[in-house]
Structures are given as structure tokens and as C-alpha cells.
Amino acid sequence: MDLSLIISLLVVLTIGGITWFFIRRFITNTTNEFREYQPALRITNLSIMNTGDMITVTPEVENL
């Protein structure tokens, strides 16, 4: 095999690995920030109303 082919393959794999690392880090940080801003809720009661062929579910929600 040609040496330039091996070197170019190693360069592409290195750049791809670094890119994958930073993308995963960005996704993890974004997910954690999103979860921090979500309120902690608990469903305390579910009311279900059945009218013919339609079911309506109404939850009672409270903050924790």
C-alpha cells in the first residue's frame, strides 16, 4: 500500500474521532442544561372520562 494512503486514512480517522468526541460532549451538555430547566412534577390523580368512542384523561399535577 502507498504510504500516503495510510497517512490520509489515519488523519481522517483522527479528525473523525475528535469531531465525534466534541459532538457527543455538546449533546450531553445540551441535554443536561435542558433537564435543569424542567420543573419537577408529580402526577397525583388521573381522571378518565369516557364518552362513546373518545377517552379524555385529565391529570392533576403538582410541583415537587
| Structure confidence by residue, pLDDT tens digits, 14-63 | 999 999 999 999 999 999 999 999 988 999 899 999 988 899 999 998 88
The rounded radius of gyration (Å) of the Cα atoms in the chain is: 25
CA atoms of 60 and 49, how far apart (whole Å): 14
Q: What are the start-end ranges of the H helices in 1-64? A: 3-36
Q: How confident is the model at residue 2 (pLDDT cuts 50, 70, 90)?
A: confident
Q: Are 64 and 43 in contact (CB under 8 A)?
A: no
pTM (predicted TM-score): 0.57
Residue 1, pLDDT > 70, answer no
* Chain center to CA of 30: 8
Higher pLDDT, 28 or 3: 28
Of the chain, the end-to-end C-alpha distance in Å amounts to 64
For residue 21, the model assigns a pLDDT of: 98
